[in-house]
Structure 1
Amino acid sequence: MRYILTLLLLGLYGTISLAQQASSTDFNFEKTPFTEKMPSPWMEWGKGYMLTTDTTEKYQGKASVRIQSPTSMDNIQFGCAAYMIPVSYSGQEIELRGYMKFKDVEKGWAGLMLRIDGKPGILNMSNMQSENLHGTADWKQYTIKFTYPSRAEKVYIGALLVGSGTVWIDQFELLIDGKPFAEAPQRKIPTAELDTEFDNGSKLALGPGYPLSKEQTENLAKLGRIWGFLKYHHPAVAGGNFNMDYELFRVAAPYIAAKTDAERQQALTHWLAKLGPVKALTAQTIPADAALKPDFSWINASDKALSAKLDSIRQAERKGELYYVAANPGASNPDFKNENAYQGMAYPDAGFRLLSLFRYWNMIEYFFPYKPLIREDWYTVLKEFVPKFVMAADETEYKLAALALIARVKDSHANLYGNHAALDKRFGKNFAPVELSFVEGKPVVVNYYNAQLGEQTGLKPGDVIETINGRNIKQIINDQKPYTPASNAVIQLKTLAPNLLRSNDSTLAITYKRAGKVQKANIALYPRTKVNIYANFNKKDTCFKMIGSDVAYIFPGKFKNAYLPAITPELMKSKGVIVDMRCYPSDFMVFSFGQLLLPEPKPFVKFTNARFQTPGLFVWLPELKVGKTNPSPYKGKVIVIVNENSMSQSEYTTMAFSAASNVTVIGSTTAGADGNVSPIALPGGLHTGISGIGIYYPDGRETQQIGIVPQVKVEPTIRGVADGRDEPLEKALELINGK
């Protein structure tokens, strides 16, 4: 799951001007005239917060920087002081240290910020959200530390404030492997990164103005398959000796110009010779019980000479980490590294658009654990999308083609992340201030994104939207479905919902039904600066409370493991616990809270992981257990409520809790997307991702697309929404009270 703030920072990528090369003493605030709003070269991220130099309140020296929230917080997300450092260092670990003082921080948190960017975009980031620093605290040194990405190009350091209050920052240090970053050794630059021939364009004669025949489409699809095979199999490419983006353009030029199959084979043969010979293995072992096996039957169907060369490369010896993909630390989901997002190309030329298709298609072909669940021939999809990418006439058509391709993977973790002006222009840059959800299969008003503006529309919770600008809802949904990635129909409708009441106009003419009567209205629309469609994300006033005297209620969206010791005594005395998992957990509570429920360890999940040296192979890992020996587990009833808002970590946490015999899961279909997300960067500054590891129950049952199946199905009703009832919560209380 991607935090909202991360998405906001991702949207800033590529818009920030370069700062000067920093030294280890530049991070304090002593060398800049104090009349300036911010000491140069520090810069401001976010909007609406007041960032100033403060000579009165500081940790040491002459000044600090103060971040202060605005008086009105309406749709204001965060304020951040940031400093960019170009880097070309090597190391294993990066660390940011800095002093902070904060006062009256509420409805959010204060934190340091460390972000690493490379060609794909954001490589790693922490903003201390999980620390939940709030309230008031005097000066103290804080630290962020994580693995230093080998392909880092820029490091952003700073601090931020989310919510209300004031934060002061001072005395920053940046370390690599425990030493000042400027003392770290220079990174050895792979040969692939020295290739700059096509930095200004692919030089391919493709796209609008160049008609694409069916035969050309077939040939380009074949080239994309072979190119991706070599990218992940050829040892010289794995070693970082070739920039495969630009190698595509080099081979594509003669390949496209070829008039016969023989000429095309010759172009491929010359290219293979350039990549160099390979050392064949004596044997290649594919476990008989592998979860997913590579399929190379297409190689045998190729030209005989080409087939022999490709087969030898398939069996080639590949040593060490592959240049373009590796296992992420921890979960070992794919890390698609060294992929250039070509951030400056809003509308890449046809060659780069073709590269985008080939890059994504091959990532799915070899490293998507749920590829069989696509349930259509993936190569046929490649052929279908070649003309869509090549002939895309502008930025909007290119991004729509990318969205449509991503949607075919059927994964709720997949979408185009961030905001895109071209897509806003296509779908609408203005939004209604009311939140819709599909209830009983119909779009129903359930809340407001902005209470004041929402009430002005005249719409109320329980109102059913019937038509929009004269079009019925079914028509609108059918138009948007191809561009709405989702694991199942329920989450697809949830994703669609905010886009229904959306337009480039300032108003929408709608009809809606209230209490059986159809009414008309013209409702005002507003830009994102006034309507935040994430306003109700994880929105609750507490993480723990007692309902009555004997039922405990936990909301994981606000829960922190640090709270557990304080709430455990009261929780253990209750006769029942409701865990409201209709959210995204703000802390990883699988093993902290989970151990309270079980008398001894019990299996709850098993995984599949890719074997990167054998692309396309996924193997089973040993099952994982939750709990520990506990002579006094919780003995009351535990009810976990889920719905379409339960996604990824929410689903995983529910699986863990379900291992306990006294847990009952109630509610409705969840998002059906579990497993750590593997980010993907595509040309044109597009960012997406996939579920990178397979998540299964210990008996092998799938969770992807299916989600967590409730033992007791309880869905909201239109009448219940109108009456302000929470029917799943009511059912949870009934079950605990034995009704």
Structure 2
Amino acid sequence: MKKFLFFLLASIMISCTAQESSKYNLGFETQKDPLQLADGWIEWGKYEISIDTLAHSGNYAGKINSGESEDGFGSIAYEIPANYKGERIELKGYMKIKNVSDGFAGLLLRVDGNGSTLAFDNMQRRQITGTKDWEQYSITLNYPEDAQRIYVAGILVGKGEAWFDDFVLSIDGKDVQMLKEVEYKPSKAELDKEFIDASRIELTEPSPKQIESLELLGRVWGFLKYHHLEIAKGNYNWDFELFRFLPAYIKTTDKNESKRQLVDRITSLGKLEDCTNCEPTNESAFLKPDLEWIYQQEEDLKSALLDVYKNRSQGKHYYITKAANVGNPEFKNENSYYDMPYPDDGYRLLSLYRYWNMINYFFPYRHLMDENWNTKLAEYIPVFLNAKNELEYELAALQLIAEIQDTHANIYGDMEQLDAWKGINYPPVHVRFIENQLVVTDYYNEEFANRDGLKVGDIISEIQGKPVDEIVAEKTKYYPASNVPTRLRNLSEDILRSNNKELDITLISKDRKPRTQSVTLYPKDSLEIFRWYKKSEGSSYKILDGNIGYVNLQNIKESDVSKIKEEFKGTKGIIVDIRNYPAIFVPFSLGPYFVSQSTPFVKFTQGNIDHPGEFTFTDTLEIPNDGEAYKGKLVVLVNELTQSMAEYTTMALKAGENITVLGSTTAGADGNVSTILLPGGLRTMISGIGVYYPNGEETQRVGIVPDVEVKPTIVGIRNGKDEVLEKAIQLISEE
């Protein structure tokens, strides 16, 4: 007995010593002030954040309770200096949840550097809700080389309670508690803070000559940013160098003098080293750098720019890198200047320059825009500089973003001015464009059914006395999308929003008699709003009448895939519904079930940071066969809600021998996304790699074109039918 007590006490002492020696309080155990959070932990959001004795291990855990708050989220976070080197960063932690709804709970891992977020995941896509006991979860991200701060957190969005405990942060598989720290040496660019509060530039109402001059400057500024070796080394804060150069440049009215200033600035960056490994443009490149504008310049400027090009930066670059494995661009060290809600003249011009050049050099689909991107820089200079307030600036940015015609592109985040412009109150109904008309398709909350006389299937023809077609025409330029159906999808989400508490609308019901009536609007948090599709509950798969398997990828789990393969062996056919966003990545787990041999299905284009503007094809990827292929017919359901990973999944399933894609054209936005930060705290994204069929056929903007086109009808909506699913059942039954 004494021996047992000795080992017990020894183990307790060892445990306590290990806890006390931990650099970071990731288990919530150290709490000097019982009235405060555990040492080192901070709170984000306005939910009730506390330390609780309901722990996974030890004495304490972090807790988030939504309570009665209307803020929308709460997070308990811990900041760790990013004094470590490595390739991959992983966060593991235990989470327990109770009655989580209208949102999600999850771990959160964020890596920041030089004023921007470099890597981020909050498990939102996993949609963890309901009530669950303690379970370990993990997040793994690429670890940015320019990381400065790491945030470990738990997050709750929506309603409910969540507990968090026993976080472990590791880099390349090694616990940071045990890792040796490395000294961080900031670059010259990071140390430059001169214009952090204001650019001190005044540029409103530019003249035509100024626009021409500023267009050339924007081209030169962006070209140097991505080509010049000294800028690539991080020796210049290139944002602030713009503000230093502008005052004298904009005062110059003589074109020759302006170009001389540009030549002098290029020369002042230092003598270039001869580049011995700068490759010429790849002859097989799918997209090639556009240098025509350089050859159009006068000799001195042309010579200076071509000298930079011939001796351009190679390898590591301060402002740009490529994501590991995938190859999409990662825009580094781009400060969003979040504390400047309405950027001044210089920052607005910087916003335009930054975005235009990122698209010009690193957007894989620049050749697919309806209008020439080369004309957009001059076109948008007066739009950005004449923006009179924060809202006009945000709308200018949104309009520019829409020009690239990429559904991944938009302005994301909590943008108060844009939200107010769209309207803070929402209708109780979900609407979609069906047969080119705005139709009520569902209720957000069951208790609102038939309230205000609105019925599923009603057509809305006018809003506040204005025809819906006119509203669409006015607002379409502010809704980025790859194609028209997806733009209407996005616009329908906002079209009935208002800052008023009521809207007058004209309805056409089943009896075809138009009537005008008021519809009550509600704050967002009082409705169970879904954007494009309701959350699917229950099992992701089932057997339909007629021995037909049905799979909904919206709520599929990893463990479901093997069960589907086993239980659906003897079915007549399988329907895979991808009119949603898949919960998990299934191309290489579910896809092999439908091919009898390894089958090519996709290839990509990737940019080249050593040769900005060049894109080349990768090798073709194949879906492997993992055994006996499914013998029945496969029908895949798609529509404008099928986007990005959903489109990629459809391409993988199309590799099957006996497949029909049924529905309507998809969103036309595929390729891993790259985040872009703009002044004023704006955040947008682009499709970062090009996605193509093995024969080189486009998917961007075109989407996945169905083999059999079937669209919902207004009559079908009124009768509660899913006409696309019914057609799929018919196709399989006929076999």
Alignment of 1:266-665 (within 5 A): 266-281=260-275, 284-453=279-448, 455-515=450-510, 516-531=512-527, 533-534=529-530, 537=533, 539-541=535-537, 542-548=539-545, 550-628=547-625, 630=627, 632-665=628-661
User: What's the offset of the Cα at 1:423?
Assistant: 1.3
Q: Does the residue aligned with 2:535 lie in a helix, a strand or coil?
A: coil
**Alpha carbon RMSD of aligned pairs, Å?**
2.5
The TM-score, its normalising length taken from structure 2, stands at: 0.91
**Does the 8 Å CA contact 1:29/1:170 hold for their aligned counterparts?**
no
CA distance in 2, matches of 1:667, 1:313: 51
Give 1:270 deviation, angstroms.
Answer: 2.1
2:730 aligns with one of 726, 730, 734: 734
CA contact (8 A) 2:548 2:575 kept: yes
Give the 3 Å change call, closer, same or farther, for CA 69–145 of structure 1 in structure 2: same
Which residue of structure 2 aligns with residue 4 of structure 1? none
Q: Is the 8 A contact 2:25 2:40 kept in 1?
A: no
Query: Matched residue pairs, number?
Result: 709
Matched residues in 1 for 2:26 and 2:593: separation? Answer: 49
Q: Deviations over 1:169-222 (max 9, x none)?
A: 333343445243684212221221111121121122212xxx311110111011
Q: State the shift of 1:105 in Å.
A: 6.6
Question: In structure 2, what is the equivalent of residue 670 of structure 1?
Answer: 666
Aligned partners of 1:648 and 1:356: how far apart in 2?
27
**C-alpha deviations, 1:59-86, integer Å up to 9, x for none?**
444322334565x99x996553323345
* Secondary structure in 2 matching 1:502: coil
Partner SS for 1:186: coil
1:392, distance to aligned residue in structure 2 (A): 0.9
> Structure 2 vs 1, CA of residues 579 and 139 (structure 1 numbering), >3 Å: closer, same or farther?
closer
Aligned to 2:52: 54
User: SS of 1:572's equivalent?
Assistant: coil
Given candidates 227, 232, 248, the residue that maps to 1:233 is 227
User: One-letter code of the match for 2:482?
Assistant: S
Alpha-carbon distance in structure 2 between the residues aligned to 1:479 and 1:102: 45
SS in 2 for 1:614: coil
In 2 relative to 1, CA 521–118 (structure 1 residues): closer, same or farther, beyond 3 Å?
farther
* 1:217 paired residue among 208, 211, 217: 211
Answer yes or no: is the 8 Å Cα contact 2:573–2:634 preserved in 1.
yes
Describe the shift of the 1:453–1:418 C-alpha distance in structure 2 as closer, same or farther (beyond 3 A): farther
Question: Deviation per CA, 1:455-487, whole angstroms, max 9, x where unpaired?
Answer: 423211111101011101111011101111110
1:112–1:159 contact (8 Å) kept in structure 2: yes
CA contact (8 A) 2:25 2:39 kept: no
Unmatched runs of 5 consecutive residues or more in structure 1: 1-21
Tell me which amino acid in the other structure corresponds to 2:604. F
- 1:406 Cα deviation from its structure 2 partner: 0.5
1:533 Cα offset (Å): 4.0
Residues 246, 581 of structure 1: alpha-carbon distance in 2 compared, 3 angstrom cutoff? same
Supply the distance in 2 between the matched residues of 1:107 and 1:298 (Cα, whole angstroms): 52
Q: TM-score, normalised by structure 1?
A: 0.91
Deviations 1:494-545 (Å, cap 9, x if unpaired)? 1110221111111100111001111221111122222454366452123111
1:42 aligns with 2:36: no
Query: Residues 131-142 of structure 1: matches in 2 within 5 Å?
Result: 142=137
Q: Per-residue deviation at 1:612?
A: 1.2
Gaps of 5+ in 2: 1-21
Matched, 1:112 2:112: no
Bigger drift between 305-314 and 517-526 goes to 517-526
- In structure 2, the CA distance between the partners of 1:519 and 1:155, relative to structure 1 (3 Å rule), is same
1:30 and 1:62 in contact (8 A); partners too? no
Deviates more, 1:699-708 or 1:92-101: 92-101
In structure 1, how many angstroms separate the alpha carbons of the residues matched to 2:448 and 2:309?
60
Task: Give 1:683's aligned residue.
Answer: 679
- Could you tell me how far 1:99 is from its partner in structure 2? 3.8
Q: Is contact 1:119-1:341 (8 Å) kept?
A: no
Query: How far apart, in 2, do the equivalents of 1:472 and 1:372 lie?
Result: 35
Secondary structure class of the residue paired with 2:91: strand
Q: Secondary structure at the match of 1:346?
A: coil
Q: CA deviation at 1:163?
A: 7.1
Is 1:717 matched up with 2:713?
A: yes
Quick one: distance in 1 between partners of 2:408 and 2:342?
25
CA contact (8 A) 2:662 2:706 kept: yes
Cα distance in 2 between the residues matched to 1:59 and 1:27: 9
Query: For 2:567 and 2:140, how far apart are their aligned partners in 1?
Result: 35
Partner of 2:120: 125
